[in-house]
Amino acid sequence: MSVSLKAICSDITTLTVDAIVNAANESLLPGGGVCGAIHRAAGPELARECRLLGGCQTGDAKLTKGYRLPARYVIHAVGPVWKGGNDRESVQLASCYRRCLEVAAANGIETIAFPSISTGIYGYPIDFAAKAAIDSVRAALKKLPSIREVTLCCFSPSDFAVYQQLLAEVR
């Protein structure tokens, strides 16, 4: 069976999938952007579990429960802060997506939704970020056959258009 990879324009906290990904920071403490929205929707138990994880390095990902979210799990990924593009940002961003899918597969998660990691507060340009995201997800999925569905969840129609365009291009 082939995996479904698609982009949508939505609030990720409303999605009924096995796991949603959080665009977190290295401390894993609640922040703004999608992180703030996820913590608000999940409730205070989420921050309590995050505090026990001892942080997370940029490019890596850690799993918690989803608490009051429709999603059963949250995978907290730490994207790079954009510093102009010559500081391994693309390697670190690709690593985030790959690590989330590896953590998902290791925990029996078959359906997962990603926000556009690093493209808000961390300032990563959307077109570069979307390309790194799609390339990394496609490469990782080849090695992780248990993942059935990957949703790239955009928050703005303009970001959605960028993802749609890239997904439509020949692989």
Whole-angstrom distance, CA of residue 14 vs CA of residue 20: 10
Helices and strands (DSSP H and E) totals, the chain:
5, 6
Per CB under 6 A, does 92 bind ligand AR6? no
Over the window 39 to 78, marking each residue x when it contacts ligand AR6 by CB under 6 A and - when it does not, the resulting string is ----------------------------------------
In the bound state with ligand AR6, the residue whose beta carbon lies nearer, of 40 and 143, is 40
Q: Shortest Cβ distance from residue 1 to ligand AR6 (Å)?
A: 27
| Stretch 108-127 residues interacting with ligand AR6 (CB under 6 A) | 115-122
Q: Tell me, by CB under 6 A, how many residues bind ligand AR6.
A: 25
Angle, vertex CA 76, rays to CA 118 and CA 144, nearest 5: 95
Give how far the C-alpha of residue 36 lies from the chain's centroid of Cα atoms, to the nearest Å. 14
3-state secondary structure (DSSP) of residue 110: coil
In the bound state with ligand AR6, the residue whose beta carbon lies nearer, of 23 and 112, is 23
